[in-house]
Structure 1
Amino acid sequence: MATYTPMIQQYLTIKADYQDAFLFFRLGDFYEMFFDDAIKASQELEITLTSRDGGGDERIPMCGVPYHSAANYIETLIERGYKVAICEQTEDPKQAKGVVKREVVQLITPGTIMQGRGIEDKENNFIAAVSLFDDGTFGFAYNDLSTGENKVTLLGENFQEVINEIASIGAKEVVVDDTFPEQLKKDLKEKFFITISLENETSISKSFEHLLTDLDDEKLEQTMSTLLHYLFRTQKRSLDHLQKAKSYNTNQFLKIDYYSKRNLELTETIRTKGKKGSLLWLLDETKTAMGGRLLKQWIDKPLIQKKEIERRHRIVESMINHYFEREELREGLKEVYDLERLSGRVAFGNVNARDLIQLKKSLQQIPAIAHMLNRFQNEDLQHLANQLDPCEELTDLLERSIVDNPPISVKEGNIIRDGYNAELDQYRDASRNGKTWIAKLEKEERERTGIKSLKIGYNRVFGYYIEVTKANLQFLEEGRYERKQTLSNAERFITPELKEKEALILQAEEKIVDLEYELFLSIREEVKTYIPRLQALARIISELDVLQCFATVSEKRHYVKPSFSDERKIIIKDGRHPVVEKVMKSQEYVPNDCYMDQEREILLITGPNMSGKSTYMRQIALTAILAQVGCFVPASEAILPIFDQIFTRIGAADDLISGQSTFMVEMLEAKNAIAHATKNSLILFDEIGRGTSTYDGMALAQAIIEYIHNHIGAKTLFSTHYHELTSLEEELPNLKNIHVSAIEQNGKVVFLHKIKEGPADKSYGIHVAQLAELPPSLIKRANEILVQLEAGSNTREEVTKERKSSIEETAAQLSFFTDEIVPKAEKETSSEKKLLQELSSLNLLEMTPLDALNTLYKLQKKLKSQQNS
């Protein structure tokens, strides 16, 4: 390092502390990057890679971006998951004795950006911290730096719970310590496009001690402290907008795991990963950015507390019944700025005067909104109205201090109103009177010289001057005018009077700009003291916005208020899939009923492909979710239980990254439901077992149905093409068959999309293939093969007998081959006989898949033990 120039040595010293980030090193008007940073940045940003002499043996790779346009380049790197360390000059180059002092003033990461393309108005930008404790449990904390929100919880020993939470909040970055297992970090990177960062400090610092006062668990404090240490270390500035950390328990909400949220398309669609076509897209009639973010949070975490759900329903009902008041409220909310993120920018120090005008206009709407709420004549809304804080002192401050149309820049003046500050008014008076004096002087000089084209001008290089064309120079009085500049067709002069006035005017204007900036900073500091009140106001406005959004959607789409059954009944009349109904538009959606009680715990759904089985199942789940977030539901009547969990296995999807097939994903999702569901859960299984052979698939499907029926008792919708399973209705008292009806007309199938009692008579698979316009010859041949197969088909009982005899035959063959290969007297011991007898006596058709696997493991263990002995 000694061979490098002092500047490059400084760069390398600073870079050593930011190995995982691009170091934007300020040199004059550019941010420069060197060595590997330069090579990589030139590729990512598509900028020219050059080199420079740094004192070493070889030229150093270098690239740079202009200071004034660096934000776009930084955003590009952040969007691709990188970090950027901003290194600024911290002393005046004119006063530097050697290399100018530089230091990193901020580390920008995917989880800590405050503004720009990476920040969506209606989406949070969360950063999370995960701690693994000695007992195997996980601590999980998250923060949105742009809003100041902090939350923390404890999770069990299953890492899947951590994955579910990260997916739920859509975290862009995860902070862990050095002891966090590498395999788990790898799992996170493979599962999500996410940045992993390190922070080993867990102590409670005085700088954020006040943020942890509501936490009563050491593990919660430690996890939250890890995240806060990372934020303070990387941002290196005031974070006064951070809110007190609030703990939550995942059991306080309706649990919907990562896969089920994806299958139900709650916040994004499976195919495009976009918002359009999701439940969030359907519901989002919010008028504020704050409301849009809260709506997504409510969808991710529906309630299970009946009292709070019914409170939301009462407010929605009242808003539906008061159309004109609701429309006025929507108009009022439209004028409310993003108070949460504004508070963050005030604390962060990057707010401008236009933002403060937006804040003033927002606060001016609050009294009117409170008045509107009282007109609803609803106790819950009146309670919210009483909590609205208009921050009148702040509104008055901003009204007195900031002009109505300030510039974007806060360093160019024209921000502060006349009359706010006496010293500023004096400077302005000097400046304005000086300019009036100059205008008067120009008139006098024209009269004195008789030169009508004479004018007084100004530029930043020469200041004020009197300009006379060369043809009129003869009319100037000698000795009075001092030449200042010569042009091609004119001369510029200055007089003693003009020179004196120029000094007064320019001094005043310079002081005006400096003083306005100081006054603005003072106003910003005063606004900072209102941040807690603004954040409290933002929470109420957000809630009002989401509830009016529910009312608007419910009225527009003819939803009804649901009621809740303590007897675990589901009664849905004329139920619809909310998103499909909206997408269909002009086409008439076919509604369907759903009835389930203690004698109808499982509905076995049969019917042809494309008939609507999956849509029917999803609409039941979405109806439950809508009810539990506080919205009305798409039906003419709805009575529902309050579900504690929803599990789905819908659609086929390989997990290619983890190397898992469709069938393995199917089995893992089924296992998750079976392992965690309770009688108060809702399970949706769509064609379980189709990813393997017919017999295996049918056996697994039946075993899963029986296990849910006998051991869990959860409300379950199970669709299948295994028609043999419909006879389970005779064996399982709480299972009922239903089907989606279809009819044949002129040799073609017509889907009625109507749910009816009983099993379907056939699957119409070839008809669906015909609708897909497969070649006619292929369709004809398929029909011929179908006739042949149906002629030789077995009943379910015959299939069962065949499988039983096949198993017995396999066991007999195993015994036969053992006798053939080795003389019985030499090899077959009594222990082996017992093993074979035990194997042949097993009734595999009565065993669950898990029981079969455990039994096989025990037999293998016994066999290995005998072989080793």
Structure 2
Amino acid sequence: MSKGPTPAMEQFYEMKSRYPGCVLFFQMGDFYETFGEDAELISRELDITLTSRGKDKNGERMPLAGVPIHAGEAYIARMVKKGYRVAVCDQVEDPKKAKGVVKRDVVRVITPGTVIDSSMVPSEGQAYLMAVVPDAKYSIFGLAFLDITTGEFFVTTCTADDGGNGLLSAVDRTSPRECILPQSLSPQVQPLLEGRGISLTPREAEYFDHNEACSRLARQFGVSTLEGFGCNDMDEAVSAAGACLRYATETQKCDLGHISTLYTRLPEHGMVLDAITMRNLELTKNIRDGGKEHTLLSVLDRTKTAMGGRLLRTFITSPLTDIEEIKERLDAVEYCLNEPLQREIIRGSLHRFADIERIAGRIAYGNVGPRDLLTLCDSLERLPGIRDVLSLDDSIIPSLLSEIRTDIRDHTDQVSLISAAIVDDPPVLARTGGVIREGFSSELDEIQDIRRTGKNWIASFQQQERDRTGIKSLKIGYNKVFGYYIEVTKANSSLVPPEYLRKQTLTNGERFTLPELQEMEQKIAHAQERQSALEEELYAGVVIRLKEAVSSIQATAQAIARLDLFSSLADAAAENTYTRPVIEDSGRLQITNGRHPVVEETLSSVGFVPNDAELDTESDQIVIITGANMAGKSTYMREVALISIMAQMGSFVPADRAVVGIIDRVFTRVGAFDDLASGQSTFMVEMVELANILNNVTERSLVILDEIGRGTSTLDGYSIARAVLEFLHGTGKRGPRTLFATHFHEIVEVEADLKRVKNCHFAVKETGSDVVFLRKLIPGATDRSYGIHVARLAGIPGKVIQRAGEVLETERCRAPVPEGKRAPRYTQMLIMDGPGGGYATESPALIELKNLDPDSLTPREALVKLYELKKKV
């Protein structure tokens, strides 16, 4: 008859049943052990040796894998990073006092969206837990986002009828790690979230009950109604917020007092940037590898603190539409720019400033480490100096900087407490001991004195016994198994006094003890145990006292983040020669000598060619851009969009002058992508993205369209491109500001038919068979793309290039002007440096000019000829 599981294993099975879907880290002494499938999993994922121990319920050998407790956080972090959920089951009573099996319980559940330990959370970004709740018609999604590390908590909504683009846009702005969603949520939604690498946590419908959510949130914030949070009529978003808070409380197993308020962010309160636009413009992630390098974020980020860096990401992905709010931000940046000495003092003080926002979160949670407290103390000590720099006349200092000065609270009490309680060089973990400074607790000082006295007594007793016995090599040692002992070598065994009590026999000697040594050992052991317990108690008391100041520390952290950000934007403006944009309530978008902020940085050694932009919803609403491949069309269009976003986020911009009439949304359709896994070709993806633009664009939007219709046949593509232009132009007096780049040269004729359309092109310079891209946008259209030249630069074999040129010549000669159509008007600027100037000789005006002999003309004849040539052009 097989034996049943041991009491400890019964505990394991019980905990495992209570936390399905979690890897259970089960404390046994100094190790976290895993069993069965969990052991096989962590052995595979963490490259840990897999062993076996005893038998499972089926009588099979039980797989076993474990990690030391002192290294447990690192292993747990690796599992969570891979998307697993870990339940930590600790021994919750002293094994020495336990009667029978040691009591154990799960003290926390760590999931991708609820990590709070500093080792598991990157400092540069938020760590959001997300919840999604659809309305009954699946037309709206209520969304909630909670960063448990900082206490940031907000709700918003998005439409559900746009192919998931609204949901993905919210996801791309926040980069959540985990999403709680109803089990019944449409299967079309789950793949979208999984495709963004988000860990999904389905829950039953009751988990999102609206009434329960309202009650839970009201209790958390100590209010009777949610009306003051601006979300009273957002039932789905409130349900999502309640689910977020419930999940965080269940996993953390404690009161989350640092989650003290709820913000409401509505799409109409700011510029809307969808997922496609954020990808195409590479705001925070580059397209190449998803990293920060070569993004708008990398160019603007001069922040000194992790808090400021996180706030910068929010500013970039959520620009404002309120003119006064934008101007207030610009005022703060301008003040920091114009006061370089104050800016340097502030930035010097913020250098190596701790992430006090997340430390406050760990204080509230109760797992803050002693080194965290020291870095917190060091940062709080710098605050009076920072506040003094801002202590100027309120008529001089901008309103936002005045608010920051007010929000930097007085933390003298917290600094005094930490300085008095924590030693200068504490261990990483409080339970290690040696954390509390001498003089903080008289009781602890007495215990430490007993331990010091005891060690001195041991040293004195050793010398006493050497003198008394005549054994000069006698020594007193200690180990955890036998405690203190007197060790005598075999050579001196004859000198051992009869009162020595034998304790252990060794190969080369023996170990003994004496009653007085045993008595002192008990005193020292008791003092050591008492010291450890008292240190833990004192440290917990310090943390409890600091919890009272969490909300104050959070307010200070947010003020420091804003100050860091504004001084950072000023630094970027000073270094890159940015100017303050003019923000107005109009349909204008005027940029003089604008530059692409990212490309400019990478081309700093050779210089960036600036360009102007003139768009107006009522006049030059649409600019059609034609010209050579590689001439700079895509760079230019992205440049205009980025300058607009920078202006409305409150940053200075890379231009000599910029006037930005408020833009409600920026749409982009650039580049070629496909989604073959879901059965969508490149052209299908293009059309889906285009549909999103045309269905959501408004008169205040900015639209960037690059090569619409190029993914299908020439005739179909041209037809689609022309129809899109006519749709955006509309029949009213105004329409969305639009940049439209195309290689369908026939489309430039639209300028004659649509009054708010203007043609422009990028100039090139031809030198024999060579082409130089001048990167300058000038008025007029062109019929040249120079695709064959670009192919040659890319390394296409010479025979292919030659044949392509022949085919092009044949086709150009063959293509007649359609009957009833006028020849298109081209004004491509071609600068001829030598014979054989390419296809420019096709222009009659240029042919006549080339054959003209200026020396044979009188001044009057020359003037008449000039007018004739101008008329032909």
Structure 1 length as normaliser, TM-score? 0.86
How much has 1:685 moved relative to structure 2? 0.1
CA contact (8 A) 2:33 2:66 kept: yes
Preserved CA contact (<8 Å) 1:30 1:64 = no
Preserved CA contact (<8 Å) 1:6 1:99: no
How far apart, CA to CA, are the structure 2 residues paired with 1:351 and 1:457? Answer: 36
The amino acid across from 1:147 in the alignment is T
| AA partner of residue 792 (structure 2) | Q
Identity, in percent, stands at 40
In structure 1, the partner of 2:716 is 696
Residue of 732, 737, 760 corresponding to 2:782 = 760
1:528 matched to 2:541? The reply is no
Distance 1:353 1:40, change over 3 A: closer
Distance, in Å, in 2 between the alignment partners of 1:538 and 1:648 is: 36
C-alpha contact (below 8 Å) 1:150/1:244 kept by paired residues? yes
2:267 equivalent among 245, 250, 254: 250
Match 1:106 to one of 90, 105, 108: 108
- Cα separation, partners in 2 of 1:455 and 1:192, compared to 1, 3 Å: closer
Tell me, in whole angstroms, the C-alpha distance in 2 between the residues paired with 1:393 and 1:774. 72
Cα 1:149–1:591, aligned 2, differ >3 Å: closer, same or farther?
Answer: same
Equivalent of 1:662, from 682, 696, 701?
Answer: 682
User: Which residue in 2 is equivalent to 1:87?
Assistant: 89
Whether contact under 8 Å (2:160, 2:167) holds in the other structure is no
Aligned counterparts of 1:518 and 1:798: Cα–Cα separation in 2: 94
Distance (Å, rounded) in 1 between the aligned partners of 2:51 and 2:470? 61
Decide whether aligned partners of structure 1 residues 115 and 575 sit closer, same or farther in structure 2, where only a CA change above 3 A counts: same
RMSD of aligned Cα (Å): 2.9
CA contact (8 A) 2:149 2:358 kept: yes
> Residues 430-482 of structure 1: CA distance to partner in whole angstroms, max 9, x if unpaired?
33334444445555566667776665554444444555666667778x56766
- What's the counterpart of residue 838 of structure 1? none
Are residues 1:388 and 2:408 paired? yes
- Tell me if the contact between 2:699 and 2:736 (Cα under 8 Å) persists in the aligned partners: yes
Q: Residues 412-811 of structure 1 correspond to what in structure 2 (within 5 A)?
A: 412-441=432-461, 456-465=476-485, 478=497, 498-597=517-616, 598-710=618-730, 713-795=735-817
Q: Return the offset for 1:697.
A: 0.6
Following superposition, the deviation at residue 400 of structure 1 comes to 1.4
Residue in 2 aligned with 1:5? 5
Give the drift of 1:515: 0.9
Whether 1:162 and 2:180 are equivalent positions in the alignment is no
The whole-number CA distance in structure 2 between the counterparts of 1:262 and 1:562 is: 25
For the pair 1:271 / 2:288, whether they are aligned, the reply is: yes
**Conserved in 2, the CA contact under 8 Å of 1:44 and 1:77?**
yes
Shift of 1:5: 3.5
Pair 192,57 (structure 1): closer, same or farther in 2 beyond 3 Å:
closer
Aligned-pair CA distance for 1:295: 0.8
Larger deviation, residues 350-359 vs 32-41: 32-41
Structure 1: how far apart are the matches of 2:667 and 2:626? 20
1:184 is displaced (CA, Å) by 2.4
**Aligned residues between the structures:** 799
- Does the 8 Å CA contact 1:190/1:657 hold for their aligned counterparts? no
User: Distance between the aligned counterparts of 2:81 and 2:433, measured in 1?
Assistant: 34
Report the AA paired with residue 20 of structure 2: Q
- Indicate whether 1:280 and 2:280 are aligned: no
Q: Following TM superposition, by how much is the alpha carbon of 1:501 offset from its aligned partner in structure 2, in angstroms? A: 4.1
Q: Kindly tell me: are residues 792 and 163 of structure 1, through their superposed partners in 2, closer, same or farther at Cα, counting changes over 3 Å?
A: same
Distance 2:87 2:454 in 1: 47
Distance 1:789 1:542 in 2: 62
Report the secondary structure of 2:291's partner residue. coil
Q: Quick one: distance in 2 between partners of 1:187 and 1:42?
A: 31
* SS of equivalent residue, structure 1 residue 313: helix
1:209 matched to which residue of 2? 219
Equivalent pair of 1:122/1:291 in contact (CA under 8 Å): no
Work out the CA distance in 2 between the residues paired with 1:83 and 1:582: 42
- Pick closer, same or farther for the CA change 1:9–1:479 going to 2, 3 Å: closer
Q: Distance in 2 between matches of 1:788 and 1:266?
A: 44
1:332 aligns with 2:349: yes
Moved more, 401-410 or 48-57: 48-57
Aligned mates of 1:55, 1:118 — CA distance in 2 = 33
Question: Could you say which residue in structure 2 is the equivalent of 1:239?
Answer: 256
Contact 1:82–1:195, Cα closer than 8 Å, also in 2? no
Task: Sort the Cα spacing of 1:70 and 1:395 in 2 relative to 1 into closer, same or farther, 3 A.
Answer: closer
Contact 1:185 1:196 in 2 (8 A): no
1:298 maps to 2:315 = yes
Out of 359, 375, 378, the position equivalent to 1:342 is 359
Give the SS at the match of 1:105. strand
Change in CA separation of 1:508 and 1:85 when aligned onto 2, cut-off 3 Å: closer
Counterpart CA distance in 2 for 1:46 and 1:331 is 44
Q: Which amino acid letter does the alignment assign opposite residue 594 of structure 2?
A: G
User: Could you tell me how far apart the structure 1 residues matched to 2:641 and 2:422 are?
Assistant: 52
Structure 1 residue 71 displacement after superposition = 3.4
Q: Which residue of 2 aligns with 1:823?
A: none
Distance 1:73 1:175, change over 3 A: same
Per-residue deviation, 1:798:
6.2
The aligned residue for residue 858 of structure 2 is: none
Distance 1:424 1:725 in 2: 85
Report deviation, 1:190: 3.9
Range moving further from structure 2, 363-372 or 440-449: 440-449
For residues 412 and 778 of structure 1, do their structure 2 counterparts lie closer, same or farther at Cα, with a shift above 3 Å needed? closer
Distance between the aligned counterparts of 2:487 and 2:63, measured in 1? 48
Q: Distance in 1 between matches of 2:508 and 2:37?
A: 56
C-alpha displacement of 1:90: 4.7
**1:378 to 2:397 alignment:** yes
Measured at CA, do residues 383 and 50 of structure 1 come closer, stay the same or move farther in structure 2, by a change above 3 Å?
closer
Matched, 1:66 2:67: yes
3-state SS, counterpart of residue 182 of structure 1: coil
1:137 pairs with 2:140: yes
Give yes or no for contact 1:110–1:195 (8 Å, CA) kept in 2: no
Code of the residue aligned with 2:297 in structure 1: it is: L
Question: 1:785-818 deviations in whole A, cap 9, x for unaligned?
Answer: 11110011133666899xxxxxxxxxxxxxxxxx
What is the DSSP-based 3-state SS (H/G/I as helix, E as strand, rest coil) of the residue aligned with 2:774? strand
Structure 1 residues 23, 454: closer, same or farther in 2, change over 3 A?
closer
Verify: 1:182 aligned to 2:187, yes or no. Answer: yes
1:373 CA displacement: 2.2
* Mapped partners of 1:430, 1:482: distance in 2: 26
- Which residue of the partner structure matches residue 862 of structure 1? none
Do the aligned residues in 2 keep the contact of 1:364 with 1:390 (CA within 8 Å)?
no
- Of 616-625 and 787-796, deviating more is 787-796
Distance 1:617 1:529, change over 3 A: same
- 8 Å contact kept, 1:38–1:61: no
Note the residue ranges of structure 2 that are not aligned, 5 or more in a row: 824-873
CA distance in 2, matches of 1:786, 1:143: 59
**Structure 1 CA distance for aligned equivalents of residues 749 and 407 of structure 2:** 60
Matched-pair contact (CA < 8 Å) for 2:84–2:111: yes
Aligned to 2:836: none
- Aligned-partner Cα distance in 2 for 1:24–1:104: 9
Q: Are the aligned partners of 1:483 and 1:491 in contact in 2 as well (CA < 8 Å)?
A: yes
**2:374 matches 1:357:** yes
Range with bigger deviation, 489-498 or 340-349: 489-498
Question: Retained in 1: the 8 A contact 2:216–2:242?
Answer: no
Deviates more, 1:365-374 or 1:100-109: 100-109
Structure 1 SS opposite 2:446 = helix
- The one-letter code matched in structure 2 to 1:692 is T
Q: Deviations over 1:6-32 (max 9, x none)?
A: 666655554344433333344555545
Letter in 2 for 1:23: L
Give the TM-score, by structure 2 length. Answer: 0.85
> Partners of 1:187 and 1:583 in 2: how far apart?
34
- Ranges in structure 1 where 5+ consecutive residues have no aligned partner: 802-869
